[in-house]
Chains A and B, each alone.
Chain A
Amino acid sequence: MKIVALDSSGLVASVAVLEDDTLIAEYTVNYKKTHSQTLLPMLAEIQRMTELDMDTVDAIAVAGGPGSFTGLRIGSATAKGLGLALDIPVIAVPTVDALAYNLYGFSGLICPIMDARRNQTYTGLYRFDEAGHFVVVKKACAVDIGEIISAVNEKEEPVVFLGDGVPVFSDTIREKITVPFSFAPSHLSRQRAGAVGALAFVYYSEGKYETAAAHRPDYLRLSQAERERAEKEKANV
């Protein structure tokens, strides 16, 4: 089975091609956020270098959220277009799940933190059990940075943080954390489409995929207008 994986959920743009247990190619750029101009050229470059016949691709994996709303839509619309044109399904992998999957084999808790602004983070808690299975301890959510640190402290075990929230929140973490902690090294600390694709194989085997038409990002947040409208309605009740 062959999967094309995409992640444009944050500052990083990343594209990968995987076939069963093999990562054939991965292209990751953490430079400027111009995903609309870079994501498809990156796939085109991989296609050229690996002589990839798009008709042999079986599914498109995409970091399905949370993340930058616009970034997510560039990834999702690209996945949906590829899915429509090739008549293949889309596997949406939660962005933070894929981030955590970068740290396969770590023995403690894994806590991806993405900067969601306003002192909030897109995060979750994960671990690999003794058999090496990926376990979701706390699923993807948008919370205050203090809240996820408290949740980590309650577990009373070592934790590793990663993601673009690390430079933003490292001082807060150092100040509030009560368990042994570390930050992932640079080659593992950001979104990588290779991880999205590898986890997509697991999701696919569990039947977690959808049609390209049905796919949409999971933002974990309402738009500002919807939020304000809901608040106004609540106040009027």
Chain B
Amino acid sequence: MKNDEIKILAIESSCDETAASVVVNGRDVRSNVISSQVPIHTLYGGVVPEIASRKHIERINQVIDEALKEAAMGLDEMDAIAVTYGPGLVGALLVGVAEAKAIAFARNIPLVGVHHIEGHISANYISAPELEPPFICLVVSGGHTHLVKVTDYGKYEIIGRTVDDAAGEAFDKVARAIGLGYPGGPKVEAKAKEGDPSAIAFPRAKVSDRPYDFSFSGLKSAVLNYMNGCTMKGETYNEADIAASFQAAVVGTLCDHAVMAIEEFGVDKFALAGGVASNGAFREAIKDACDQRNVKFYCPPPILCTDNAAMIGAAGYYSFISGRRDGWELNAVPGLKLGER
């Protein structure tokens, strides 16, 4: 290997961010370029898959060029190209996958397909250079809610997952209902700061027989029912109290599951990942729970929590050194499961 450094160009296009990054040895981020489509999708109140796919193809070369330029490296210095191939929006994923394959083919560079959630988890390797498996990771984003035991690099046991809406999805839906718009996460969080988290007792759903699984669709319905109830009675409702009480219910549920896993599995390290990990109330709650139990708490900064390619470069590195190589037939797999190929 060149100078004992393994350099990876990573590409991510699974949802509404077009991203590219150069990562050295899995943890040293030389560039992390993200072109966000949020302003466009805001017009539609959520991500429109066809528009997302179209925007990816308009921006992808510029984003990759910028990532290489910022890292002051050329394609021929890359040891591998890592690309997200699932899960996500199929049309969006396909742009990154086709682009990555073509670049790798043209320059004869090894190709490594990366699982998007594995990327989110691996963001912690970037922000915490000392972190090594085993640890438990709670991945919470607009599309995913997974409680995962990371037993080794690239080895995962899923402890729990959502059976319906992802936590971030619930934030988006509630934000829409109380008129805050898209994206829901940051908007609900800001509004919640003005409200009383104990004002309304929203339910904290449990999934029968599967204590670690999550369910958030009932909570979203409870918020809508509460609002309808107020309207029918001719009462006004307080959006800030709704936001605060809803957020408290989500955070409470996530925290309960985290604590249960920490106690049952006896790990000494707990990590957060995914876009919702940027939520301050959520971070604080999990950090407090970890501190009380002498468990070391990890959480990447917001720039590594949102969809980005640096995390794909980190996950791709561990995949690459374990020997994984993908062929030119690599396809986008929208429903890819963690730990599957």
Contacts and interface: CB of A to CB of B under 8 A. Distances in A.
A74 B105 contact: no
Interface residues of B, number: 36
A73 B44 contact: no
Given A81-B106, A84-B65, A223 B50 contact: yes
Interface in B78-110: 90-91, 94-103, 105-107
A54 to B, nearest CB: 5
A223 to B, nearest CB: 4
Given A40-B328, A216-B58, A77 B51 contact: no
A74 B61 contact: no
Given A77-B98, A85-B75, A225-B50, A36 B61 contact: no
A40 B105 contact: yes
A226 to B, nearest CB: 7
B68 to A, nearest CB: 10
Contact of B91 (A40, A73, A85, A213): A73
A66 to B, nearest CB: 14
A223 B97 CA distance: 22
Nearest to B111: A40
Contacts of A69: 50, 53, 91
A217 B57 contact: yes
A153 interface: no
A216 B53 CA distance: 11
Contact of B60 (A34, A39, A80, A226): A80
Contacts of A216: 54, 57-58
B61 A213 contact: yes
A86 B106 contact: yes
Given A80-B102, A223-B51, A213 B57 contact: no
Contact of A41 (B50, B99, B102, B328): B328
A62 to B, nearest CB: 11
B97 A54 contact: no
Interface string A34-54: 101111110110000000001
Interface in B35-53: 43-44, 48, 50-51, 53
A73 B65 contact: no
Contacts of B332: 36
A17 to B, nearest CB: 14
By DSSP majority rule, is chain A's interface helix, strand, loop, or mixed? Answer: helix
Contact of A81 (B44, B90, B91, B100): B100
B190 to A, nearest CB: 27
A77 B107 CA distance: 16
Contacts of A85: 75, 102-103, 105-107
B50 A38 contact: no
Interface string A201-237: 0000000000011001101000111100100000000
A40 B102 contact: yes
A150 interface: no
Contact of A74 (B64, B98, B107, B330): B98
A217 B105 CA distance: 22
Given A40-B328, A82-B102, 10 more contacts: A37-B329, A40-B102, A43-B105, A74-B94, A74-B98, A77-B98, A78-B102, A81-B98, A213-B62, A213-B65
Interface of B: 43-44, 48, 50-51, 53-54, 57-58, 60-62, 64-65, 75, 90-91, 94-103, 105-107, 327-332
6 contacts: A36-B331, A70-B53, A74-B94, A77-B96, A81-B101, A85-B106
